[in-house]
Structure 1
C-alpha cells in the first residue's frame, strides 16, 4: 500500500530574456525557501555547462547557498556529473556540505558529461577524471571516503594510506545513482544504492529501468530494499490556458536542443507565443507535451498521483518548467512558485 505522495524539486536555475545569472540564482534561492516552507522532501540542483539558459553549473556551491537559506528540506545534486571531477574532490565537497547541514544532504551522481564535447575537453584538461570506465570504482571510492573511518589506499609494494573526506565526520550524505539507461539502473541495484531514472529528460525507458533496478537489487549496509522516485516536467496554473502558455518557452528550448539547433536564453511567454516553430520543432514540441504534466492544479496533481501509483513510488521530483511573462520580476519566478503551490496544495 502506497503512503501519501510527497514532492521534491529539481532545479536547473533557468535563465530567461534580460535576466542576469545573479537574478536567476536569486530566483532559485527564493524557490528553495518556498519549497522548504511548503514541506517538500528535497531540493536538488543539476550540473550543466555552457548553456545560455542554465545557470546550474556548480551544484555544490548552490547546495551550500540553499542549505543556508532553508531549515528542514534535504538539499542535494541531481546530479554531480562524476566524469568531470576527481572522486576525492566530490567527497570533500559533500563532506563539508554534510557538516554545514547535518542529515540534510543528498549526493546524486551521474555518468554523463553534462555538456558538449568542447566543454567536456575543457573540464578534463587537468587530469584523468574523465575515465568513464572507472565510474563504478569511483562511486565506491566516494562512498568509502565519506564514511567516518574513511578509505584505505593499499600500495602494490606494501603498506596502507588512510584517506578521509573530512577529519571527523559525524554523518555522511545519502548517495543516489542517477541515469537514463539500463547501465545506471543495474549499477545502482548491484551496489545497493538508491536510484533515480531521468524521466524528465529521457522520456523513454522508464519501465524497463525500474524493473531492472528492482529485480536485480542487492541489499547493502546503506539500503535494505530498493528506493527510487520519479522525475517529471511540470507546469501548473489556475487555468489550463495559462499553463499551456507558461510551458511554451521551455518546450521550445528543449525542441531546439533535441533538434541540434543553437541554444539561447529562455524566451518569455510573450516571446514564445510570437515566435514561429518550424515543422521539426513543432513535432518535437507536440511529442514532449504529451509526456509533460501541464494544466490546472487539480488536473496536474491528479495526473501525478496516478503516475506515481502506476510505477509504485511515493515521491515525485518536479522540474518546475513554468516560464515567465514580460511583466514579472527578474529576480523571482512566480510561475515556478505557482506550480509548487498548486501541486502541493
Structure 2
C-alpha cells in the first residue's frame, strides 16, 4: 500500500442493537482488519452515550488481542484525567503480558463525556487533576518500564512501585490530541503523537509543525513519529456511501445542538426522518467536508492527499458507515465493506503508480 492503514473503533450501537451485539460486531471487525493487513486497531473511551459502547478500552483490547495474532491493539485513547496513573499502568502492563509487543497505550487529556459523568469518574480524588496531566504521563512511562518507579516517602525511605512484577518490555505510549497543547507536550517528552483529525480537522498543519519543530529525541524515540485519524465511509457506489454516512451526520447534529442522544439510526430511518434542528444542514455539511466518503478509490485518494499534507505514512481510519435495517446486528457489514474496499483500492493504486517516499519522521 502507498500508506499504512490502522483502525479507530468507538464500537457504535445502532437502534435495536444490544451492547453484546455491538461488541461482537467490533471484535469481528478486528479480525477483518488483521486479515487485510491493517497495522493497529485502537478502541476509544467514551461514557454514557447510547450510540457508543467503547467505555472500557482495556477490556476490549484484551478481547481483541485474544482473537488476533499480528495486529497491534490499543487505546485511542485512555482519557487519563478519568483514571489513576497506576491503574492505567497496571492494566496496560497486564495487556502487554497477554500480547507481548502488540500493545499501544494511546492517551488523551479530554474527559470523553458530559460533566456529570466526568465527576463520577473522578471521584478517586486529586489524581484526576487535569493540570497534572504531564506528570501523570511521566508516571505511567516509569511504572510500565521493566525498572519501575521509585517513590521517596516523607520518612526519607524509598518505596519501589512496578505496574507488573517482571516486565520484559512495555506498551508503546502515544499522545493523542487536536490542539497545540498535546503536540507540544508529545514533542517535549519525546513521544509519538496522533492528531485527532477525525474529531476536528482544524489546526492540523500547525500542530504537526509544532510537534516536529519542538521535538526532543528520547531513548525510545530518537526521531518524531506521528500519524493522523480520519472518518471514512467506502462503498461500491458514491450513492451508497453517502447514505451510510447519514446516520453519523445526524448524530453530529444532535451533539452540536445539545439534543438528547440516541442509538444510531438505521440508514432507512435517517433517510426518512425530518430535520433535527434549524441549522442541521449547515452542521452536517461542515462535518461532511472533513470526512472521506465515496468509493474505495475515492477514499483512498483522499487519504493519500491527507497523509501527504500531514507528512505521515500512516492514517488511522474510523469506519463510520451506518447499517441498513436488514443487516445482521452482531456484524458490521458497512464498516467491514469500508475497510475492505479501502485496503483493496490502496493496494491497487500502489501497484499502478509508485508511491512517493514517505518522510523519515513518520511512524
Where structure 1 has 5 or more consecutive residues not aligned to the other structure, the ranges are: none
Conserved 8 A contact 2:197-2:228: yes
Give the superposition deviation at 1:128.
Answer: 2.2
Give the superposition deviation at 1:134.
Answer: 0.8
Cα distance in 1, alignment partners of residues 161 and 94 from structure 2 = 15
Paired residues for 1:168-247 under 5 Å: 168-247=166-245
2:11 paired residue number: 13
Give the superposition deviation at 1:127.
Answer: 2.3
Paired residues for 1:77-92 under 5 Å: 77-92=75-90
Cα distance in 1, alignment partners of residues 217 and 124 from structure 2 = 37
Give the superposition deviation at 1:281.
Answer: 1.4
Stretch deviating more after TM superposition (122-131 or 217-226): 122-131
Cα distance in 2, alignment partners of residues 39 and 177 from structure 1 = 24
2:247 paired residue number: 249
State which of 94, 117, 120 in structure 2 corresponds to 1:119: 117
Cα distance in 1, alignment partners of residues 303 and 122 from structure 2 = 39
Give the superposition deviation at 1:172.
Answer: 0.4
1:98 paired residue number: 96
Paired residues for 1:19-58 under 5 Å: 19-58=17-56
Give the superposition deviation at 1:258.
Answer: 1.5
* Corresponding residue SS for 1:261: coil
User: What is the TM-score when the length of structure 2 is the normalising length?
Assistant: 0.93
* Corresponding residue SS for 2:7: strand
* Corresponding residue SS for 1:183: helix
Conserved 8 A contact 2:47-2:112: yes
Conserved 8 A contact 2:144-2:163: yes
Which consecutive segments of 4 or more residues in structure 1 shift more than 2 A?
Answer: 126-129
2:158 paired residue number: 160
2:265 paired residue number: 267
1:315 paired residue number: 314
Cα distance in 1, alignment partners of residues 259 and 207 from structure 2 = 29
1:330 paired residue number: 329
Give the superposition deviation at 1:4.
Answer: 3.2
* Corresponding residue SS for 2:110: coil
CA deviation map 1:121-163 (0-9, x unaligned): 1111232232111110100000001111100101244111110
* Corresponding residue SS for 1:200: coil
Where structure 2 has 5 or more consecutive residues not aligned to the other structure, the ranges are: 345-363
Cα distance in 2, alignment partners of residues 96 and 64 from structure 1 = 9
Cα distance in 2, alignment partners of residues 30 and 19 from structure 1 = 15
2:361 paired residue number: none
